[in-house]
Amino acid sequence: MDIDQFLVKSSLQFVDKASFTWQTPSNIALVKYWGKSEPQIPKNASISFTLNNCHTITTIEFQKIEKSEEVQFEVFFEGSKKEEFKPKIAKFFQRIQEYCPYIFEYQMTIHSQNSFPHSSGIASSASGLSAIASCLMSLEQQLIPALNADFVIKKASFLSRLGSGSACRSLEGPLVVWGNHPIIEGSSDLFGVKFPHKIHPIFSNYQDVILLVDKGEKQVSSTVGHELMFDHPFAENRFQQANENLTKMSTILQNGDITSFINLVESEALTLHAMMLTSNPYFILMKPNTLEIIHKIWKFRQEKNSNICFTLDAGANVHVLFPENEKETVLQFIENELSSLCYKKEYICDVSGFGAKQRS
């Protein structure tokens, strides 16, 4: 693995001041990443739909300072200063410092906001960290004008991964693979790559309605969940299965076999949660309403001959996935039968999207 390519080798043309704003989305995995080794190397390849509406907008203002021993930064979230967000970001800066040495030469003021409710269980680390990484890469591009655009996006994904694994899949879209896999040319454990094949039209503008079942803090963080895969009795089989599922998913995405898509996506979601149920210590992130919703989705699919299916993140919320041509009937079903099972009847309508966008 060529990590050296991400080190800064050119001389830097420092500027006194700069400011960049990026909008980066969340993503939802179809084949899940669960289990990693240091430094943020996934145990298996994963693939996700990039989302469109669930995103973070982040501005970083950079002010040149004398080279400092420690990274100097402040964080504001939705207008208020957030000391409690600093440790995670400080850890991120620590992990990327050898690849972005210029962070010691700027005072950074970070302003962030999410398009989705805070602590709704939506992967805010994926959108949040990919937004910070994108702003840093805009600065790097200004300091090294010769950098090319492909490298900038690749390094933005590489840096995002060091913040949160799944964040490296949020830079491009509509489908991104992360993790070295024999059938995905150019794939790497170090960064995400756009799914390289033509996608069947049934998967264009794929719909994802996120049902907010539980908005509280999770009892077990993803980081702890990943760690529990270390001496998990089923870990090796799971990693192998995920890589095989990625091969199957690649074929399905190209040939439009939606029945196999449904089967694979739901099996991946339940397998992820099965890993949690069989960890030691074991834990359950699904809530009673998660199961109630799953059963209602299955019933609707059978009765209406629909192609609706579900997937789950590391939490209780349910992502309802369906093709664009079923939008009207499925949205009605969600409003009439599923919304009452959500916290305050809240759900978010999203669709596959194209990744990070620079706003200024």
Q: Residue 190: which residues within 8 A CB-CB, separation 6 or more?
A: 1, 3, 6, 158, 161
Closest residue by beta carbon to ligand DP6: 165
Which part of the chain contacts ligand DP6 (CB under 6 A), choosing from 25-33, 102-110, 245-253, 301-309? 25-33
| CB-side neighbour CA atoms (13 Å) of 65 | 17
Compute the 3-state secondary structure of the chain and give helix, strand, coil in percent, each to the nearest 5: 40, 25, 35
Residue 29 as a binder of ligand DP6 (CB under 6 A): the answer is: yes
Q: What is the CA radius of gyration of the chain?
A: 20
Minimum CB distance to ligand DP6 smaller for 100 or for 122? 122
Minimum CB separation from ligand DP6 for residue 27, in Å? 7
**Measured from the CB of residue 252, what is the shortest distance to ligand DP6 in angstroms?**
18
Contact region for ligand DP6 (CB under 6 A) — 138-146, 160-168, 324-332, 342-350? 160-168
Shortest separation between residue 226's beta carbon and ligand DP6, angstroms: 5
Does residue 125 belong to the site contacting ligand DP6 (CB under 6 A)?
Answer: yes
Q: Does 313 bind ligand DP6 (CB under 6 A)?
A: yes
| Binding letters toward ligand DP6, positions 317-356, x by CB under 6 A | ----------------------------------------
Size of interface with ligand DP6, in residues (CB under 6 A)? 17
Q: Which amino acid is present at 355?
A: G
The span of 162-170, 184-192, 199-207, 334-342 binding ligand DP6 (CB under 6 A) equals 162-170
Residue 32 in contact with ligand DP6, rule: CB under 6 A: yes
Q: Between residue 35 and residue 54, which ones bind ligand DP6 under the rule CB under 6 A? A: 40, 46
Q: How far is CA 305 from the centre of its chain?
A: 31
Q: Concatenated DSSP letters for 102-162?
A: GGGGEEEEEEEEESS-TTSSS-HHHHHHHHHHHHHHHHHHHHSTT--HHHHHHHHHHHHHH
The mark string for 256-285 relative to ligand DP6 (x by CB under 6 A, - otherwise) is ----------------x-------------
Using rule CB under 6 A, residue 314 touches ligand DP6: yes
Does residue 223 interact with ligand DP6 by CB under 6 A? yes
Q: Does 290 bind ligand DP6 (CB under 6 A)?
A: no
- Burial class from Cβ neighbours inside 10 Å (0-12, 13-18, 19+) for residue 301 reads middle
Closest to 35 measured CA to CA, from 191, 212, 242: 242
Counting contacts by CB under 6 A, is residue 165 touching ligand DP6? yes
Question: Should residue 222 be labelled a site residue for ligand DP6 when binding is judged by CB under 6 A?
Answer: yes
CB atoms within 10 A of CB 73: 18
Report, in Å, the least distance between residue 40 CB and ligand DP6.
6
- Give how far Cα 241 sits from Cα of 158, 238, 284, 325, Å: 25, 5, 22, 31
Report the residue from 26, 164, 187, 250 that binds ligand DP6 according to the rule CB under 6 A: 164
Binding of ligand DP6 at residue 120 (CB under 6 A)?
no
d(CA 6, CA 235): 31
Neighbours of 283 (CB within 10 A): 15
Residue 226 binds to ligand DP6 (criterion: CB under 6 A): yes
Question: Does residue number 166 form part of the binding site for ligand DP6 (CB under 6 A)?
Answer: yes
Phi/psi region, residue 172 (left: phi>0; alpha: psi -120 to 50; beta: rest), is beta
Residues near ligand DP6 (CB under 6 A):
29, 32-34, 40, 46, 123, 125, 164-166, 222-223, 226, 272, 313-314
